[in-house]
Chain A
Amino acid sequence: MRGILKIAYKLLVNDKGKFAALLIGITFAVFLMVNVTSMFAGMMMKASATVVNTGAKMWVMDRAVNTVASSIPMPDYVLNAVRSISGVKYAVPFYSGAGLARLGDGTYQGVTVLGLDDTSLYGRPALIQGHIEDIYAENGFIVVADEELPKLHNPKVGTEFEINDNRGVIVGVAKVPASGLFGVPTLYTTFSRAIQYIPSMRYTISYVLVEPASPAAIPHIKDEVERLGYRAVTETEFVARNTSFYMWRTGMGINILIMTIISFVVGLSISGQAFYTFTLENLDKFGALKAIGAKGRELVAMILLQAGVTALAGYGLGVGLCAFIIALAKVRLKDYASIVTMRNLGLAFGMVVVIAGISSVIAVRKVLRVEPFEIFRG
Chain B
Amino acid sequence: MHDVAIEARGLSKWFGEGDTRTYAVREVSFEARHNEILYIVGPSGSGKTTLLSMISGILRPNVGNVQVEDVDLWALDDNHIADFRLNTVGFVFQDYHLFPRLTTVENVAIPLILKRRNWNEAIGEAMHCLEVVGLTGRAALPPNKLSGGEQQRVAIARAIVSAPDILIFDEPTASLDGDTGRKIIEFVKKEVLNEKRCILIVTHDNRIFEYADRIMAMEDGRVVGFNKGENRA
Find the A residue at minimum CB distance from B121. Answer: A3
Stretch at the interface among B33-41, B107-115, B206-214: B107-115
Instruction: Give residues 100-144 of B contacting A (CB, 8 Å).
Output: 101-102, 106, 110-111, 113-114, 116-119, 122
User: Inside 8 A of B119's CB, which chain A residues have their CB?
Assistant: 2-3, 6
Query: Is A7 part of the binding interface, using a Cβ–Cβ cutoff of 8 Å?
Result: yes
**With A1-B116, A2-B119, A373-B53: A292-B91 Cβ-Cβ less than 8 Å:** yes
Nearest CB of B to A287, in Å: 8
Find the A residue at minimum CB distance from B120. Answer: A3
Contact digits for A1-39, partner B, Cβ 8 Å, 1 yes 0 no? 111101100110011000000000000000000000000
Stretch at the interface among B79-87, B145-153, B178-186: B79-87
User: Inside 8 A of B50's CB, which chain A residues have their CB?
Assistant: 373
In the complex, the answer to whether B97 meets A375 with C-beta atoms within 8 Å is yes
In the complex, the answer to whether A375 meets B110 with C-beta atoms within 8 Å is no
User: Inside 8 A of B99's CB, which chain A residues have their CB?
Assistant: 11, 285
Query: Is B59 part of the binding interface, using a Cβ–Cβ cutoff of 8 Å?
Result: yes
Query: Is A298 part of the binding interface, using a Cβ–Cβ cutoff of 8 Å?
Result: yes
Instruction: Give residues 278-295 of A contacting B (CB, 8 Å).
Output: 284-285, 287-295
B contact residues vs A (CB 8 Å cutoff): 49-50, 52-53, 58-59, 79, 82-87, 91, 93-95, 97, 99, 101-102, 106, 110-111, 113-114, 116-119, 122, 170
17 more CB-based (< 8 A) A-B contacts, given A7-B102, A291-B93, A294-B82: A3-B117, A3-B118, A4-B114, A6-B119, A10-B101, A10-B106, A15-B101, A288-B93, A288-B97, A289-B114, A291-B58, A292-B85, A293-B83, A293-B87, A294-B114, A373-B50, A376-B52
9 tightest A-B CB contacts, nearest first: A293-B86, A288-B97, A3-B113, A14-B101, A293-B85, A373-B59, A378-B94, A3-B119, A372-B58
A contact residues vs B (CB 8 Å cutoff): 1-4, 6-7, 10-11, 14-15, 284-285, 287-295, 298, 372-373, 375-378
